[in-house]
Chains A and B, each alone.
Chain A
Amino acid sequence: MSEADLTKTTPRSHPSITSHSTIDEGRFPPGTLLGQRYRIVSVLGRGGMGEVYRANDLILGQPVALKFLPVEMAQDEHILTRFRNEVRVARQVSHPNVCRMYDLGEVDGQPFLSMEYVDGEDLSTLLKRIGHLSQDKGVELARQLCAGLAAAHDKGVLHRDLKPANLLLNSKGQLMITDFGLAGLAEQVQTDIRSGTPAYMAPEQLSGLEVTHKSDIYALGLVLYEMFSGKKAHAAETRAELQRLKDGGSAPSLSSLVKDLDPAIERVIERCLSPDPMRRPSSALAVSAALPGGDPLAAALAAGETPTPEMVAASGSHDGLRPRTALLLVLAIIVGWIGVAMLNSHVTLLDKIPFDQPTDALAQKAKEMIATLGYTDKPADVLYGFSKNTAYQEQLNKHFGGKAWEHLMHTRPSLVNFWYRTTPGSLWPANDRNIYPSEMDPPMTVPGMVRISLDPEGRLLNFRALPRATDSPLDGPDDWSALFKLADLDMGMFKPVEPKGLPQVTFDQRSEWKGTISQHIPHEFRVEAAAYRGRLVHFSVAVDWGDPPAPPPSLRARLGQPVFPPALHVGLCFRRVDGVEQLEGRTHGPPWRLAPGDPDGRRRLLHLPSGRALQHIHEFQPGDVELAGGQHLRRRAVRHHVHGLRTPRAQTLAGDAGGLGPAVFRTLHGSASRPPRAVRRRRRDGSGPVGGRLQHGRKKPAAGPDGG
């Protein structure tokens, strides 16, 4: 079988288009005017599938190539359909390395198509003339070829006839892919798999199994092989032999044919020529990236840039997961997750204790209890949450050891408590190191403050209140049984005892009881209660362990060794370091200190911690629900709106803060609080929005009445 036989298995839509093809006058002599638009200059090529002419477009004044079908095929509807398809498909691909297709036309019943005229020669002719390309030139052209092919694949177009004769080189040395006569969308060409040139077909295409973009990658490998070696990868006399050679993947080693060839070139061509499509590079761009100097990841990293996900993904040598692997991974994830969830059920506290009442129900119950106990004034601020009874847990571990878990499930009080506190003013932490108010911060120091704790079943555990001097005296509580009822305790099982504890509030009545809760709970409980002017001010239900809680052991005692200072020091640093806050400082720092990167992303990142403030929004001011973002949001607002003046965004915000200053700080900072010093200074200086938008950089303060 000759090469010509091997290269003609299907009717071709056109011959090669080169300026060096056999020159004759063809059907249209030079000077012929076609359709009042094209003047024939010369014939470029001629073959069984038609003729290609160089012509001048008289309207646009540009050279073009015109391809005509042979006269005997011009009426064949199948050929015509293919002819039109060539234009339709090729026009989908627009790339500097793909020959542009213009339009279809007809002259005297002879259809033709117009395309970009390439003043040069095809690669096949060049290789016959010079043997093979140098490594540098070969890599350069290979990269252009990969780019053009990738553009076609990106549009879903398979070329299906990639070979040196269909690659044109113009006078500037630019490579262009042409002849999309057999090309088609991947999903539309599966009925016509074997169309193409057998010598450049992939094994799966040659055997009629399938044709995919990996088939084009195989052809690309063959072309590259030929470019660098000047020889065909598979020298076969018959089609059967060709199939055998391709199936065996037995192309002679490139390094045996070309001295000093970069191993990277040989490796990527070998991968392209793999009989298994899965082992071939995933894309033409991956081939390009694997060529010497073609690693965009390395280039990006060397330039100090972060590679985009697209760049990382495109550099992959494999084409996705195998379905079986993917399925196994998905199953592993699901099984793993179910395993974690099942294990969690055994180790999480909430699943070990009765925890039936939702938060809202507990809050409502706490509110009703406070009212029942005589504190009926509507509070200005309310805060509630859950806390872990760590002291109780330590006692459980101390007294019950390994059986602590069983007791957790059955005993009272619970390891988790619900706390609810009200104040006559707004709640802000008294300890400046705390960002948010909590159960214990601010402490119970202001008259009118009330704090109550319930267990998860809604039973009263602890109560503390600071009555106001203006509160009118009540009659009770002579009968403490109501308290026992709120705590769900049977007063009959408790006996009055001599008070041991001293309530931390002012009182004029106090009582204490000791008893058991039920037969299932072995230890005794101690109940304390105290009242002032008829109002309950203190109540507590606690296990009577018989001894005061031991102070927590020192670190030295726990470790049994001297604690190595670096760990502690770093530990303290760790507690103090907030990466985002650090980043925030960097963002708002002077420009020369800002590191290169993604400032927009960094800025977006800074807003994440603000979400934490949502946790501390609570009712604020009687009869008026306002969104008070807490100390954290206030600090952030100050930092963003006042101190961060170096970014346009911050300037805008600063303007807003100044303009809305009183409202902002009344809401965020509390009506009784003063705005931060920076704001006061700006207001005094008149540099806030009242006096105009804040300028970039520091503004020289205007002289005030005091000369400052």
Chain B
Amino acid sequence: MAEKSLRLDPMVGDLQALTGVRFHFATFTSLFANTIGRATFMVFLLLGLRVLLRNQWLALAATASIFSAMIAVNSALPWFVFGIAFLMNGLMLFYLLRFGYLATVVVMTCNYFMGHFPPDLHWANWYASSSTLCILFLAFLTAYGFRVATAGQKTLADDFD
């Protein structure tokens, strides 16, 4: 397994969220605020670097490098983590450029949410409520997103035969 050979840290999630429903809700609400703040920072950083470097894609690469370096410095395998993080951050920034701020906030929220409440298939665990919350939240967000995005238009072009 990659995590054995590479000695990557195990994914912990938000241990505080294990301490009850109230903590679920607290983490849940603060996640929104955090992702909005981070996405906003990402936008401003990208814009600033775009002005400095005068090229959108250079600005994207520079922004991704900065974010990746912040993650990599705390890792046991900084260059490997930097590469992976660069790809992920680059994808997120491309998403920001292509689909805009709101879509990026939603993606980041889902991303962080799944990191804090990792969904798994062990429903018998006493902390399975975290997984359930994750599933319900993502399902709700998906349904709400569809509803808002269609804005009264029908989702399907034809009925199912």
Known contacts: A321-B157, A612-B29. The answer to whether A337 contacts B119 by CB under 8 A is yes
Q: Are A579 and B40 in contact (CB under 8 A)?
A: yes
Q: Are B23 and A615 in contact (CB under 8 A)?
A: yes
Among B13, B15, B45, chain A packs the most CB atoms within 10 A around the CB of B15
Which residues of B have CB within 8 Å of A372? Answer: none
Q: Are B157 and A278 in contact (CB under 8 A)?
A: yes
Q: Are A403 and B23 in contact (CB under 8 A)?
A: no
Which residues of A have CB within 8 Å of B159? Answer: 323
Which residues of B have CB within 8 Å of A189? Answer: none
The listed residue (A312, A326, A388, A609) touching B29 by CB distance below 8 A is A609
Selecting from B53-61, B63-71, B86-94, the interface stretch reads: B63-71
Q: Which residues of chain A from 293 to 341 have any CB-CB distance to chain B below 8 Å in the complex?
A: 308-314, 316, 318-323, 326, 333, 337-338, 340-341
Distance of B14 from chain A, by nearest CB (Å): 9
Look across to chain A and name the residue whose beta carbon is closest to the beta carbon of B22: A614
Look across to chain B and name the residue whose beta carbon is closest to the beta carbon of A438: B16
Which residues of B have CB within 8 Å of A347? Answer: 3, 10-11
Q: Are A351 and B38 in contact (CB under 8 A)?
A: no
- Give Cα A156–Cα B83 distance, bound, in whole angstroms: 55
Q: Are B12 and A349 in contact (CB under 8 A)?
A: yes
The listed residue (A415, A416, A579) touching B36 by CB distance below 8 A is A579
Which residues of A have CB within 8 Å of B39? Answer: 579
Q: Are A405 and B154 in contact (CB under 8 A)?
A: no
Q: Which residues of chain B from 26 to 47 have any CB-CB distance to chain A below 8 Å in the complex?
A: 26-30, 32-33, 36-41, 45
Selecting from A80-88, A99-107, A565-573, the interface stretch reads: A565-573
Which residues of B have CB within 8 Å of A357? Answer: 126
The listed residue (B13, B25, B160) touching A611 by CB distance below 8 A is B25
Count of B residues near A, CB < 8 Å? Answer: 68
The listed residue (A322, A355, A359) touching B19 by CB distance below 8 A is A359
Look across to chain B and name the residue whose beta carbon is closest to the beta carbon of A564: B69
Q: Are B38 and A579 in contact (CB under 8 A)?
A: yes
Look across to chain A and name the residue whose beta carbon is closest to the beta carbon of B16: A385
Known contacts: A344-B119, A405-B3. The answer to whether A567 contacts B126 by CB under 8 A is no
Q: Are A386 and B7 in contact (CB under 8 A)?
A: no
Among A578, A579, A612, chain B packs the most CB atoms within 10 A around the CB of A579
Q: Are A341 and B119 in contact (CB under 8 A)?
A: yes
The listed residue (A342, A346, A351) touching B1 by CB distance below 8 A is A346
Distance of A407 from chain B, by nearest CB (Å): 11
Look across to chain A and name the residue whose beta carbon is closest to the beta carbon of B134: A341
Q: Are B69 and A567 in contact (CB under 8 A)?
A: yes
Q: Which residues of chain A from 383 to 433 have any CB-CB distance to chain B below 8 Å in the complex?
A: 384-388, 393, 397, 401-405, 408, 415-416
Q: Are B152 and A333 in contact (CB under 8 A)?
A: no
Known contacts: A401-B7, A612-B30. The answer to whether A386 contacts B16 by CB under 8 A is yes
Look across to chain A and name the residue whose beta carbon is closest to the beta carbon of B71: A571
Look across to chain A and name the residue whose beta carbon is closest to the beta carbon of B148: A309
The listed residue (B30, B70, B157) touching A320 by CB distance below 8 A is B157
The listed residue (B20, B26, B73, B131) touching A563 by CB distance below 8 A is B73
Which residues of A have CB within 8 Å of B13? Answer: 348-350
Q: Which residues of chain A from 586 to 631 have any CB-CB distance to chain B below 8 Å in the complex?
A: 605, 608-617
Q: Are B7 and A323 in contact (CB under 8 A)?
A: no
Distance of A635 from chain B, by nearest CB (Å): 14
Q: Are A348 and B11 in contact (CB under 8 A)?
A: yes
Interface residue B133 (Cβ < 8 Å from any Cβ of A): no
- Give Cα A558–Cα B158 distance, bound, in whole angstroms: 58
- Give Cα A612–Cα B159 distance, bound, in whole angstroms: 44
The listed residue (A319, A348, A384, A571) touching B69 by CB distance below 8 A is A571
Which residues of A have CB within 8 Å of B161? Answer: 323
- Give Cα A570–Cα B158 distance, bound, in whole angstroms: 51
Q: Are A559 and B10 in contact (CB under 8 A)?
A: no
Which residues of A have CB within 8 Å of B27? Answer: 612, 615
Q: Which residues of chain B from 140 to 157 have any CB-CB distance to chain A below 8 Å in the complex?
A: 142, 148-157
- Give Cα A460–Cα B86 distance, bound, in whole angstroms: 42
Q: Are A614 and B23 in contact (CB under 8 A)?
A: yes
Q: Are B7 and A350 in contact (CB under 8 A)?
A: no
Known contacts: A358-B126, A359-B20, A612-B30. The answer to whether A309 contacts B10 by CB under 8 A is no
Which residues of B have CB within 8 Å of A337? Answer: 119, 135, 138
Look across to chain A and name the residue whose beta carbon is closest to the beta carbon of B76: A397
Which residues of A have CB within 8 Å of B41? Answer: 574, 577, 579
- Give Cα A653–Cα B100 distance, bound, in whole angstroms: 35
Interface residue B98 (Cβ < 8 Å from any Cβ of A): no
- Give Cα A191–Cα B154 distance, bound, in whole angstroms: 24
Contact with B along A156-196 (1 / 0, CB 8 A): 00000000000000000000000000000000000000000
Interface residue A580 (Cβ < 8 Å from any Cβ of B): yes
- Give Cα A342–Cα B16 distance, bound, in whole angstroms: 23
Q: Are A359 and B45 in contact (CB under 8 A)?
A: no
Among B19, B135, B150, chain A packs the most CB atoms within 10 A around the CB of B19
- Give Cα A555–Cα B71 distance, bound, in whole angstroms: 12
Interface residue A640 (Cβ < 8 Å from any Cβ of B): no
Which residues of B have CB within 8 Å of A651? Answer: none
Distance of A596 from chain B, by nearest CB (Å): 16
Q: Are A611 and B28 in contact (CB under 8 A)?
A: yes
Interface residue A92 (Cβ < 8 Å from any Cβ of B): no
Distance of A63 from chain B, by nearest CB (Å): 38
Q: Are A356 and B126 in contact (CB under 8 A)?
A: yes
The listed residue (B45, B120, B154) touching A348 by CB distance below 8 A is B120
Q: Are A555 and B73 in contact (CB under 8 A)?
A: yes
The listed residue (B114, B138, B150, B158) touching A322 by CB distance below 8 A is B158
Closest 4 interchain pairs by CB? A611-B29, A579-B37, A313-B151, A615-B26
Known A397-B7, A402-B7; 11 more pairs at CB < 8 Å? A320-B153, A340-B114, A341-B119, A344-B118, A348-B120, A349-B12, A402-B4, A415-B10, A558-B73, A570-B66, A612-B27
Q: List 22 A-B contacts (CB under 8 A).
A: A319-B157, A323-B157, A323-B158, A338-B121, A340-B114, A341-B120, A345-B122, A350-B118, A356-B126, A358-B127, A385-B15, A397-B7, A402-B5, A405-B10, A416-B15, A563-B73, A570-B66, A571-B73, A574-B41, A579-B36, A609-B30, A615-B22
